[in-house]
Amino acid sequence: MKIIDCRGLNCPEPVLQTRKAMEAGAPEGLAVIIDNEGSKDNVERFARSQGCTTAVTVLPDGQFRVEISGVETKAPSAEVDPAAFTCTPAAIGPVCIIPADSMGRGSEELGWALLQNYVKTLGELSPLPSKIFFYNGGVKIVATDNKAVEAVIEMEKRGVEIWACGTCLEYFHLEKELKVGRITNMFDIVNTMATAGRIMSPY
């Protein structure tokens, strides 16, 4: 795996360095070392915009290692300008939690339809949610074929972090069906909710 050391670099330089490495070709993948959260987020967003997947490890010294897989030898898309990934503070969207497979009480069929429409409508917000957590029956949105999953995929491409409860996926036997996002655990869910500026939910 090719390693790029971007410590001490200001935005958008880590993204520019990542693009340069992708242009050179790294079929074995890239690992980008970054010392600030803003650049870490931007490198992740840029990599996802190129169709790659990312995994972040927080190093003992508080720095970040962003591993990027799915890097092809062809040049990154010219449609995405890495210089646009700056660290200028932007409006931070709320954390959204989806803890069930139905919205409201009464008809389960209607509740499932309403929930799908709710999730699709999230993609029209400005700013978008910063993170969306799916747990209990809510994981069905990201692990089954439904009318909302494409909207979630699009939100992830636009920088929204998508997380699904691993225990919940296992309970519903959907752990191999995850279509978008990454698996999380109860500590991450509770910690995020405890530190979030705003939380929104259809419940």
pLDDT for residue 86: 66
| Residue 57 placed within a domain | yes
In terms of domains, do 80 and 115 share one? no
pTM confidence score: 0.59
- Is-contact 84 12, C-beta < 8 A? yes
CATH code, 42: 3.30.110.40
In terms of domains, do 48 and 104 share one? no
β-strands 64-69, 30-34 pairing: antiparallel
In terms of domains, do 80 and 100 share one? no
> Rounded distance, CA 71 to CA 21, Å?
10
Q: Which domain holds residue 129?
A: 95-200
| Residue 90 placed within a domain | no
> Tens place of pLDDT for every residue, the chain, 203 residues?
889 999 988 888 899 999 888 888 777 889 999 988 888 888 988 888 888 889 999 888 888 999 998 876 555 655 556 666 666 544 568 999 999 999 998 999 999 999 999 999 999 998 899 999 999 999 999 999 999 999 999 999 888 999 999 999 999 999 999 999 999 999 989 988 888 889 999 98
In terms of domains, do 157 and 105 share one? yes
47-82 tens-digit pLDDT: 888 888 899 998 888 889 999 988 765 556 555 566
In terms of domains, do 29 and 107 share one? no
In terms of domains, do 118 and 23 share one? no
Q: Distance from CA of residue 109 to its chain's centroid? A: 29
pLDDT for residue 127: 86
Gyration radius of the chain's alpha carbons: 18
Query: What are 37-40's contacts with CB under 8 Å, separation 24+?
Result: 37/64, 38/11, 38/87, 39/6, 39/9, 39/10, 39/11, 39/14, 39/15, 39/87, 40/64, 40/66
